[in-house]
Chain A
Amino acid sequence: MSILETRNVTKTFGGLTAVDDVSVQIPEGSIYSIIGPNGAGKTTLFNCITGFYPSDQGDILFQDKSLIGYSPDRVTKQGISRTYQNIRLFPAMTALENILVGAHPRLKSSWLDAILHTPRQRAEEKKALEKAQELLNFVGLKGKGDLLARNLPYGEQRRLEMARALANEPKIILLDEPTAGMNPNESRAMMRFIENLRDELGITILLIEHDMKVVMGISEFIYVLDFGQLIAKGPPEEIQKNPQVIESYLGRGAV
């Protein structure tokens, strides 16, 4: 059964059709990838799913419920987290605070609780802080919780962004180029980390990726986008041999 599904989603900007009639189905507990050349519409599809862009046509279903018309914050509350291609942390907040912001949808205390400093609010804060600390340790940033996010090295910022996404206790997480800018060793570590997310926490994973080693090594199933259109889908072995995919990546006549 699919946890996330897009049905004929189309998004145009002026005359440009960034996403053209794309349907994908992501089964629960799987690791799926979306690949394609630059400007193929991969990130736009992510933005449509997370409610950042309203899609012009089609339907987006999460656990068989339509997400059409949902604002980004409501989409996130359903249990969909994401990370960004170019890391977008809250730079002047500490690492721990970044994670706590990620936990926002899972906390309940209101402004009145905060002003009155109710026992309920205090208990919730304490628990949230403990959980954030756990997540910090989970991504290997133990002891760095009080550093500003912007002062962390690149790789740690990536992992912090991941921890922030996890704090939302998501059912599915959308990763936009999680290994961008990493060397082969770091990429391999990231792959293991992503597999861990699925195996230990049971989170479904949908990722956009350019690094073919990562894509082929980790994905169970791959969707290929080009000029906004779905040109191929299938398991990694099949995609590797697909002439249309090779053409779109390497140019006409390469086959």
Chain B
Amino acid sequence: MKENIKQASRNGALVGVILGFVILFGLTTTLSEILGDLFRLNSNSRTGNTGGLMLIFAIIALWAGSKAAAFDKSSWKTTLISGLMSGLALSVIISALTLLIGTLDAADVEMRDYLVQLNRQAIQFLLYGRSLWVGTLITFGILLVFSIGGGLLAFFLEDRKVGDLVYEKSLSLRDKVLEFTIIKSYQENPRSKWIGYGILLGIVFLFPLFLGRYWNYIMGTIGIYVLMGLGLNIVVGLAGLLDLGYVAFFAIGAYTAGLLTAPAPIPIQIGFWPVLILSIVLAAFAGILLGIPVLRMRGDYLAIVTLGFGEIIRVLIRSDMMTPYLGGPQGVRDIAGPSLFGLALDSERAYLYLIIFGILLTILFTNYLQNSRVGRAWMAMREDETVAQAMGINTLYYKLLAFATGAAFAGLGGALFAARNQYTGPADHTLMVSINVLCLLIVGGMGSVPGVIVGAFVLKGLPEILRELELYRLLVFGGLLVVMMIIRPEGIWPAPRRMMELHEDEGGGLTQAASLVGDEG
């Protein structure tokens, strides 16, 4: 019992400290606006949406209470006490904070000097537009009551009674759905896999028609990151070569496309399609050039050298020396786009289709490579380079091949990127691009093609969706990434093999994953 109380109050205090920081950053203000709009709560023009704030406090207290009660759910009394203790700790901390802020504000201390978000209006908002003591008391009450409620809730949801019920219902529902003749005949059809692919393909080719200009542009950006992710997936995910200078190949692709189709700084103008091929070839060639000096390096050393290579390319682009040839900091303008059968492909939608086509092609190539002698050689190298060589694999050749293939995909992405924007400059090719692509691999799941796609959507799409949060966009985004990596270290959609690696103790997953791998082979 004593232990129980200690745990619960510690838990509540922890949530209190975090919530306190969130208040100090002013994140609660923005969140309450969004929540308030969502639930159409009373909005007061003077103080803002205080109903939203109450809702946030209530949800957090509920969650903290149920968490605190999770230590011991033997009787409703213990969970009640846990909820109470957690609520007390939480509400004391937050009330003390609001009291402190309110008192300082009343004493005319300008707190904005220290915390940008804490202006007079925000403080009024925190007190629901009421007096200092009343506002604090409301907060105290909400936090305490809902924390106790959370504790009780945890008891009644014990043994996942509700969860089991939902699960059983969903199972019987699934069985009913499966009895439909269409679905049955679909499942029994040996070609059902292909029908599924066909439907997926149809969706992929139809969805740009329903999107506006802006979202087509965003989707295009995500698509280019998918292309790069697929390339880096071969280098890092399959061959195990940590490449931090990946943006260099993207830049080479973009600049090849730019310089050879724009009127300046080099007065050569060739059609888009041959230039596209040339971009891919040149990027692959650069991949080999980078590969040669780093052939004998492994792990961390390789990462540092490739990092340097990426920076060299960026600095060269910016340098005065290369300005007459590469356009310097101003970049390359008026890059020509493609045309097909005399029809100029210049809308965002047309580019999106082009990018989708490129992605489908690279996915096909990646799949074929992965399940071939070449892919196995790469994986063997990743696992144990010394033994791979002893198995008759020419590791030097396969490393260069991995670099060249990855670079070729990035080159394609770069060329499409430059043509779509009709511009490319040094700002497009910073280290952040390499880091982002590596991140999307890790978030999505290393070595998995669907993982790359999901990762690109999360990493490039989520910040767009989070625009509602304005100032806090990247803060929340960063927080989400941290949380995700803790909860799911293998990525959102990992390759079946990786899933086995990290969850070996789960027997069911093992056989299931084994059968998945069997399908691949």
Chain A contacts to B: CB under 8 angstroms: 50, 52, 71-73, 76-77, 82, 84, 88, 90-94, 96-97, 100-102, 104-105, 107, 109-111, 113-117, 121, 125, 128-129, 145-148, 151, 164, 168
Which of A76, A129, A146 is close to B392, meaning CB atoms less than 8 Å apart?
A76
Q: Does B25 lie at the interface of the complex (its beta carbon under 8 Å from any beta carbon of A)?
A: no
Q: Cβ of A146: which chain B residues have Cβ within 8 Å of it?
A: 514-515, 517-518, 521
Q: Are B383 and A92 within 8 A (Cβ)?
A: yes
Q: Are B376 and A97 within 8 A (Cβ)?
A: yes
Q: Are A111 and B392 within 8 A (Cβ)?
A: no
* C-alpha spacing A225/B384, complex, angstroms: 29
Considering the complex of A and B, which 9 residue pairs feature the smallest CB-CB distances, nearest first? A105-B392, A114-B372, A76-B392, A90-B383, A146-B518, A146-B514, A101-B380, A72-B389, A88-B387
Q: Does B500 lie at the interface of the complex (its beta carbon under 8 Å from any beta carbon of A)?
A: yes
Q: Are B401 and A92 within 8 A (Cβ)?
A: no
The B interface, classified by DSSP as helix, strand, loop or mixed, is helix
Q: Are B392 and A77 within 8 A (Cβ)?
A: yes
Q: Are B380 and A90 within 8 A (Cβ)?
A: yes
Give chain B interface residues in 376-430, CB to chain A under 8 Å.
376-377, 379-380, 383-384, 386-395, 401, 405
Q: Are A72 and B373 within 8 A (Cβ)?
A: no
Number of A-B contacts (CB under 8 A): 110
- Count residues of B near A (Cβ-Cβ below 8 Å): 37
Q: Are A90 and B368 within 8 A (Cβ)?
A: no
Q: Are A73 and B395 within 8 A (Cβ)?
A: yes
Q: Are B379 and A114 within 8 A (Cβ)?
A: no
Q: Cβ of A88: which chain B residues have Cβ within 8 Å of it?
A: 384, 386-387
Q: Cβ of A110: which chain B residues have Cβ within 8 Å of it?
A: 374
Contacts A114-B369, A114-B374, A115-B368; A94 near B390 (Cβ below 8 A): no
**How many whole Å from A160's CB to the nearest CB in chain B?**
13
Q: Are B521 and A129 within 8 A (Cβ)?
A: yes
Q: Cβ of B506: which chain A residues have Cβ within 8 Å of it?
A: none
**How many whole Å from B364's CB to the nearest CB in chain A?**
8
* C-alpha spacing A210/B184, complex, angstroms: 61
Q: Cβ of B517: which chain A residues have Cβ within 8 Å of it?
A: 94, 146
Q: Cβ of A147: which chain B residues have Cβ within 8 Å of it?
A: 514
Q: Cβ of B386: which chain A residues have Cβ within 8 Å of it?
A: 52, 88
Q: Does B365 lie at the interface of the complex (its beta carbon under 8 Å from any beta carbon of A)?
A: yes
Q: Are B504 and A151 within 8 A (Cβ)?
A: yes
Q: Cβ of B374: which chain A residues have Cβ within 8 Å of it?
A: 110-111, 114
Q: Cβ of B501: which chain A residues have Cβ within 8 Å of it?
A: 92, 148
Q: Cβ of A168: which chain B residues have Cβ within 8 Å of it?
A: 391-392
Which of B383, B384, B388, B390 is close to A82, meaning CB atoms less than 8 Å apart?
B390
**How many whole Å from B368's CB to the nearest CB in chain A?**
5
Q: Cβ of B365: which chain A residues have Cβ within 8 Å of it?
A: 115
Residue with the highest number of chain B CB atoms closer than 10 Å, among A88, A93, A128: A93
Q: Are B373 and A107 within 8 A (Cβ)?
A: yes
* Given contact pairs A101-B379, A129-B521, a sample of 16 additional A-B residue pairs in the complex whose CB atoms are under 8 Å apart: A50-B390, A73-B390, A73-B391, A73-B392, A76-B392, A88-B384, A88-B386, A93-B380, A96-B521, A101-B380, A104-B380, A107-B373, A114-B368, A125-B371, A147-B514, A168-B392
Q: Cβ of A92: which chain B residues have Cβ within 8 Å of it?
A: 379, 383, 497-498, 501
